């Protein structure tokens, strides 16, 4: 069983479209995250979310919005996709407080054409 799973693995879409990426964790963690890895391989936090608060990185455009139907899922919705959104998006989860077992998914490679 994959601990943190993301779908789809690859996503190719046109500029202006709206798309979603799904993430599920079966580790029983209480906090989930979205990260963006750009073409230079730099990983940067976008959002972190637990049942108490959503923390948004101030540099993230408001076209990006996380949606959490329950503790085990955190989906990423992107409106009006732009060429610069092309990147690999990683979901992660951890236990708040200790950050022990901070685990990443295998990534979603998004290409906007």
Q: Which is nearer to another protein, 81 or 92 (CB)?
A: 92
Binding site for another protein (CB under 8 A): 4, 31, 33, 35, 40-45, 48-50, 52-53, 55, 57, 90, 96-107, 109
The answer to whether 104 and 91 have CB atoms below 8 angstroms apart is: yes
CB of 31 vs another protein, minimal distance in Å: 5
CB of 99 vs another protein, minimal distance in Å: 5
The answer to whether 34 and 55 have CB atoms below 8 angstroms apart is: no
In DSSP terms, 111 is beta-bridged to 12
CB of 16 vs another protein, minimal distance in Å: 27
Both structure tokens of 10: 């690859």
The answer to whether 81 and 62 have CB atoms below 8 angstroms apart is: no
Both structure tokens of 103: 């685990």
Per-residue CA distances from 49 to 10, 55, 70, 97 (Å):
24, 6, 11, 13
Q: Which is nearer to another protein, 13 or 30 (CB)?
A: 30
CB of 77 vs another protein, minimal distance in Å: 19
Q: Which is nearer to another protein, 80 or 106 (CB)?
A: 106
């Amino acid at each position: 069983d994959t601990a943190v799973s993301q779908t789809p693995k690859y996503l190719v879409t046109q500029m202006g479209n709206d798309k979603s990426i799904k993430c599920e964790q079966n580790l029983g963690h209480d906090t989930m995250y979205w990260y963006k890895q750009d073409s230079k391989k730099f990983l940067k936090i976008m959002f972190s979310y637990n049942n108490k608060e959503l923390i948004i990185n101030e540099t993230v455009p408001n076209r990006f919005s996380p949606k959490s139907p329950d503790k085990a899922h955190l989906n990423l919705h992107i409106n009006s996709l732009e060429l610069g959104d092309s990147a690999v998006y990683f979901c992660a989860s951890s236990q708040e407080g200790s950050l022990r077992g901070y685990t990443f998914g295998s990534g979603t490679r998004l290409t906007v054409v």
